[in-house]
């Protein structure tokens, strides 16, 4: 009777490694990190966001697709084929780093990254994409990063309020912001008011004006207003009746 009790007690202990191995097998593959699924989902969301931007900006040139994709910090452009969407079609291969977290075998939450490659087939008849393809060898193609005007609005408004409607003082105030040299700057004067236009990219435009009352105003035209063929990001727009009126 005692020996049977001992076997009954030891059996679960002896089976524990196999049960644990079974949990690992069903919970995650042995060659996958605990954060794998989470990181792949993060990379996939990044590509979803890029494709949405392609549609929103009505892109059709290969170099524009590559430039837009390359603005994401986690994305490297490995290949670009074709010229335009409706003629040759365009194929992009992107290497995307996804960040994720998961629980390891000891019940600890751990974080890490996974690299996933995606092939985007854009035109000429339809768009589709292949996820988790083999990453081609070679270095990523160089893509210039656009500067950013994030966080500049309040700084510009305060600087212009202090400078007042004096062109020289406004130029000094804008220079004092120490913006990225790639940001295009334009300053103009009309009827006692000084207008300022700062443009970092097609859709990153900040306009400002300061008049005799010394209360500076800033305005960002909407994405729709900055589309090709619509409003230009120019200092002259600061004097226009459109200033401050966005269209969605």
Reduce the secondary structure of 56-121 to three states and give it as a string.
Answer: HCCCCEHHHHHHHHCCCCCEEEEEEEECECCCCCEEEEEEEEEEEEEECCCCCEEEEEEEEEEEEE
pLDDT of residue 220: 97
Closest Cα partner for 190 from 156, 225, 232, 237?
237
Sheet strand arrangement including 90-103 = 75-82, 90-103, 109-122, 127-133
Among left, alpha and beta (phi > 0; psi -120 to 50; other), residue 182 is alpha
Query: What is the tally of structural domains in the chain?
Result: 2
- Residue 64 belongs to a domain: yes
Mark whether 177 and 93 lie in a shared domain.
no
Same-domain check for residues 49 and 108:
yes
157 and 129 fall within a common domain: no
Of 199, 194, 196, 229, which Cα lies nearest the Cα of 211?
Answer: 194
The pLDDT value recorded for residue 248 is 74
- Answer yes or no: is 48 within a domain: yes
pLDDT of residue 19: 39
- Tens of pLDDT, residue by residue over 30-62, are 578 999 999 999 999 999 999 999 999 999 999
* Statement to judge: residues 121 and 160 lie in one domain: no
pLDDT value at position 2?
Answer: 31
Q: What is the pLDDT of residue 20?
A: 38
pLDDT of residue 4: 34
Q: Is residue 16 in some structural domain?
A: no
Domain assignment of residue 181, given as a range: 152-239
pLDDT of residue 30: 58
pTM of the prediction? Answer: 0.78
Please indicate, yes or no, whether residues 108 and 160 belong to a single structural domain of this protein. no
Evaluate whether residue 37 is within a structural domain. Answer: yes
Determine what percent of the chain is predicted with pLDDT higher than 90.
81
Phi-psi region of 173 (alpha: psi -120 to 50; beta: other; left: phi over 0): alpha
Q: What is the C-alpha separation between 137 and 115, in angstroms, rounded?
A: 14
> Does residue 3 fall inside a structural domain?
no
Residue 188, in any domain of the structure: yes
The verdict on 53 and 95 lying in the same domain is yes
The two tokens of residue 204 are 């990153």
The answer to whether position 61 is within a domain reads yes
Q: Flag whether 56 is in a domain.
A: yes
Low-confidence ranges of the chain (pLDDT < 50): 1-28
pLDDT at 29: 59
Q: Which of these three, 104, 133, 162, is where a domain ends?
A: 133
């Amino acid at each position: 009777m005692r020996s049977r009790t001992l076997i009954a007690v030891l059996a679960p202990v002896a089976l524990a490694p196999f049960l644990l191995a079974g949990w690992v097998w069903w919970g995650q593959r042995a060659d996958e990190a605990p954060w794998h699924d989470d990181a792949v989902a993060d990379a996939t969301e990044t590509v979803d966001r890029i494709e949405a931007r392609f549609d929103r900006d009505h892109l059709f040139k290969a170099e524009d697709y590559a430039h837009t994709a390359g603005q994401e910090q986690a994305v490297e452009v490995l290949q670009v084929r074709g010229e335009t969407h409706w003629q040759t079609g365009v194929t992009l291969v992107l290497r995307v780093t996804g960040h994720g977290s998961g629980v390891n075998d000891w019940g600890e939450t751990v974080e890490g990254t996974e690299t996933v490659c995606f092939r985007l087939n854009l035109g000429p008849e339809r768009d589709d994409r292949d996820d988790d393809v083999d990453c081609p060898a070679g270095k990523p193609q160089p893509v210039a990063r656009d500067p950013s005007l994030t966080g500049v609005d309040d700084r510009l408004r305060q600087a212009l309020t202090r400078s007042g409607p004096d062109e020289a003082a406004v130029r000094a105030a804008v220079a004092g912001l120490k913006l990225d040299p790639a940001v295009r700057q334009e300053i103009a004067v009309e009827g006692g008011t000084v207008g300022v236009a700062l443009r970092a990219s097609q859709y990153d435009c900040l306009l400002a004006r300061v008049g005799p009352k010394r209360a500076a105003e800033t305005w960002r035209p909407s994405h729709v207003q900055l589309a090709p063929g619509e409003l230009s990001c120019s200092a002259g727009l600061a004097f226009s009746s459109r200033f401050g009126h966005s269209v969605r």
